[in-house]
């Protein structure tokens, strides 16, 4: 085990160096090294969406489900899914991430199924998976629409796509960690990042993307894109959490007061459209759609 842990650290550390500006770097690094232990919220969200999609409205378990983790990254979620009994296949474009995922699985004697490939050209037959998970990926691919078409193709009818996407107007940019940059016209954003010294260094890693190269979305545009590929919206997590606790502290009190005057959902949607960083959507592949 110690040998595997050392190999995993050696594989992960080069990919974390660019974040040393964080005051909590040591704690953040530890979270990356033990990413699989921090997936319970994601697993609970997935179970909740599965329950909502079921005609029986029963709590469903992950065990036995065939899941594609499209853009598995460093393998924390893939490992947690496998430990929960899912039949998970992990795909990533970055070969180094595939190796990190393999090593992480070895901590638990898991022989994870790994594929090095692109989301725009999935090497799977149609109607293979019950669930496709695509977290923190859509903004990075070359052809987001093709990725959604491929996700639809490999899903069974009635299958679920758990998707995240970045808000075009995210106040705190999720990748550059800079406030206000997305409220600027895109032509001014590079100058603003240069001024703050937050442009990413592409000299060490060829996959560092500029803000202009990534795909961010207005909420309505994202939903329209999904609809073109046989998806219908089941739930958006933030809006679901308005009625599905837990909300705590000041958020709970603000929500209570807004609900009293009938402004809870309008206020949340305004926040979602013009401030929130990342959308979390559960999309349902419509039944009866012919495979393309």
Q: Are 33 and 136 in contact (CB under 8 A)?
A: no
Ramachandran bin of 59, using left for φ above 0, alpha for ψ from -120 to 50, beta for the remaining angles: beta
Distance between CA atoms of residues 169 and 182, nearest Å: 5
Residue 41 lies in a domain: yes
On whether residue 152 sits in a domain, the answer given is: yes
43 falls within a domain: yes
Alpha carbon of 219 to those of 27, 148, 164, 227, 266: distances in Å? 33, 16, 11, 13, 14
CATH of the domain at 15: 3.40.50.150
Give the pLDDT of the chain (292 residues) as one tens digit per residue.
Answer: 899 999 999 999 999 988 888 899 999 999 999 999 999 999 999 998 888 887 655 556 899 999 999 999 999 999 999 999 999 999 999 999 999 999 999 999 999 999 999 999 999 999 999 999 999 999 999 999 999 999 999 999 999 999 999 999 999 999 989 999 999 999 999 899 989 887 765 555 555 688 888 999 999 999 899 999 999 977 899 988 887 655 667 777 888 888 899 999 999 999 999 999 999 999 999 875 444 4
In a domain, 257, yes or no: no
Question: Looking at the 3D structure of the chain, how many domains does it have?
Answer: 1
Residue listed under structure tokens 């947690």: 80
pTM value? 0.90
Give the domain range for residue 222: 2-239+276-285
């Amino acid at each position: 085990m110690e040998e595997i842990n050392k190999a995993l650290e050696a594989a992960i550390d080069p990919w974390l160096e660019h974040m040393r500006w964080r005051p909590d770097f040591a704690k953040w690094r530890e979270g990356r090294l033990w990413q699989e232990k921090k997936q319970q919220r994601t697993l609970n969200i997935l179970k909740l969406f599965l329950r909502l999609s079921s005609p029986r409205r029963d709590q469903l378990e992950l065990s036995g489900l065939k899941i594609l983790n499209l853009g598995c990254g460093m393998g924390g979620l893939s490992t947690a899914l496998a430990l929960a009994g899912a039949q998970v296949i992990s795909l990533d474009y970055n070969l180094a991430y595939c190796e990190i995922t393999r090593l992480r699985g070895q901590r638990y004697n898991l022989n994870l199924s790994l594929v090095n490939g692109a989301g725009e050209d999935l090497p799977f037959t149609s109607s293979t998976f019950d669930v496709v998970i695509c977290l923190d990926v859509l903004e990075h691919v070359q052809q987001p629409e093709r990725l959604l078409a491929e996700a639809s193709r490999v899903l069974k009818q009635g299958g679920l796509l758990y998707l995240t996407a970045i808000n075009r107007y995210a106040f705190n940019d999720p990748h550059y960690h800079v406030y206000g940059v997305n409220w600027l016209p895109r032509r001014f954003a590079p100058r603003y990042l240069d001024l703050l010294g937050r442009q990413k260094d592409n000299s060490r890693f060829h996959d560092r993307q500029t803000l202009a190269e990534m795909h961010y979305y207005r909420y309505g545009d994202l939903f329209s894109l999904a609809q073109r590929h046989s998806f219908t919206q089941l739930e958006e997590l933030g809006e679901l959490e308005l009625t599905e606790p837990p909300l705590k502290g000041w958020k709970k009190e603000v929500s209570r007061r807004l609900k009293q005057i009938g402004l809870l959902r309008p206020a949340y949607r305004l926040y979602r459209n013009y401030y929130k960083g990342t959308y979390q959507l559960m999309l349902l592949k419509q039944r009866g759609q012919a495979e393309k």
